[in-house]
A = this chain, B = another copy of it.
Amino acid sequence: MPRATPAAGRVREAGRRAIAEGAVGMRRVLLRAAAGLGLAVAVAGADVPLETLGSTERLREPPHPHWVFVGDLLLRRSALLDLDRSTFLGMVSSGFLSQGIAVPRRRAEFYVPETYYSRGSRGERTDVVTIYDAAALEPVDEVAIPPRRAINVLPSANAALSDDDRFLAVFNMTPATSLSVVDVEARSFAGEIATPGCSLVYAGGERRFLMLCADGSLLTVTLDEAGQEAGKLRSEPFFDPNEDPVTEKAVRYGDRWLFVSFEGQVHAVDVSGDAPRVEAPWSLLDEADREDAWRIGGIQHLAVHAASGRLYSLMHRGGADTHKQSGSELWVYDLGTRERTQRIALHHPGFSFMGDTIEFGKSWPWPFNRLSDWLLDSVAPNPGLDVVAVTQDAEPLLVTGSKQSGSLAVYDARSGRFLRRISSGNFMVHAVQAPWSAP
């Protein structure tokens, strides 16, 4: 059972006051310590001005569309990177197998479903939704939820924010399945809704969520003003989960969710109407592609740039059951014409070692400063790419990552041109989110 704890943010605010009050006394303590070391300390006559203690950065507001969260299941964190300046902006520590950060459009906050044990890897379990101040990157409150959150290795679809930014639905699996609903405006737990046979959760309207059922159908769950169940609707099956299941890693394209199957069939679900409408499927693969054994695959294998209607799909050559294999190419589709418009050969993401990117000689004179890039692209074995994401602005960037590296490769999303590698400080890349659109 979850225990109530004082909201972390309030504790932090108290801490901040303490440091502000403490900073003056602190210099005194430091100077006394320096004296103890046999150092006489002068405060005048130096060229470098003396500096103040105790300050912490805030992110600039509003957030930029080229900022991405890069998740690492192993380190239990997400790094926040600026893809333009190749900088690390900060990070969000999270609990055991925390997946996905829910970012509202209308508030400078975000929400992280987390699971903790009183003794790290054992003991009493506590599940919470932590509410972060987006500019301070710091928890300001938390909402306890039933300790039944689904724990799996998916990069997404374990929690979803309603389109009106009001309710966060968290998928539970014990293995009985249900949704925990959190009112993120009121910062309170609204209740739990049983969803037998149906799993995962996708936002599908103002107060509506979609779930995928084991028989290949959709469950639509509608909430009322209080976050209680207002209605449930089960569709006809729209795919055969035994013959050709869709992956869990669907992407949203305006009012449509695009579910892609192991064999490359695109099932679009339109959520604009009263009930979700499933469109006729189309294929990412033509006969020649199938003959060459091209398949979809990866951890987060799909991305959509909504404004231009471009779909990006990680592809590899492989047999049946290779739906989790890393991609060697990124294929680009026009969602209007349903035609493939480009095949992007993927660059090496770069090796990393304990969070540091392994590169050398960037400061050597030309052409030696290109040596490490050249070795990576022409000699080193490419581990393949597992994750793709695209930013949602008019000058979009593509990002690819590997579960075997903490480095990312960045491309121009319109031309497919490789731009650079950047270091996330992660050990691995399990998910990339570009949550902020241009204002």
Contacts and interface: CB of A to CB of B under 8 A. Distances in A.
A438 to B, nearest CB: 33
A226 interface: no
Interface stretch (A100-108, A116-124, A261-269, A414-422): A116-124
B120 A76 contact: yes
A52 interface: no
A368 to B, nearest CB: 18
Contacts of A122: 8, 93, 139
Contacts of A8: 119, 122-123
A5 B122 CA distance: 12
A57 to B, nearest CB: 18
Contacts of A242: 38
A127 to B, nearest CB: 11
Nearest to A75: B74
Interface string A112-134: 00101011111110101010000
B120 A116 contact: yes
Size range of the interface on A? 20 to 34
A5 B124 contact: yes
A120 B127 CA distance: 12
Interface in A1-31: 5, 8
Interface string A406-439: 0000000000000000000001100000000000
B116 A119 contact: yes
A94 interface: yes
Contact of A93 (B93, B121, B128): B121
A34 interface: no
A404 interface: yes
B121 A5 contact: no
A120 B93 CA distance: 8
Interface in A134-193: 139, 142
Nearest to A428: B354
A180 to B, nearest CB: 18
A428 B354 CA distance: 9
A274 to B, nearest CB: 33
A309 B116 CA distance: 47
A374 interface: no
Contacts of A354: 74, 404, 427-428
A76 B38 CA distance: 38
A38 B240 CA distance: 14
A140 to B, nearest CB: 12
A282 interface: no
| Residue in A114, A121, A428 whose Cβ sees the most chain B Cβ within 10 Å | A121
B114 A116 contact: no
A242 B36 CA distance: 12
A142 B122 CA distance: 13
Nearest to A128: B119
Contacts of A142: 119
Interface string A69-110: 000001010000000000000000111000000000000000
Contact of A118 (B93, B116, B121, B353): B116
Contacts of A95: 119-120
Contacts of A130: 119
Contact of A5 (B5, B118, B139): B118
Nearest to A96: B120
Given A38-B242, A74-B354, A427-B427, 6 more contacts: A5-B119, A93-B120, A95-B119, A116-B120, A119-B128, A354-B427
3 shortest interchain CB distances as A-B pairs: A93-B121, A95-B120, A116-B120
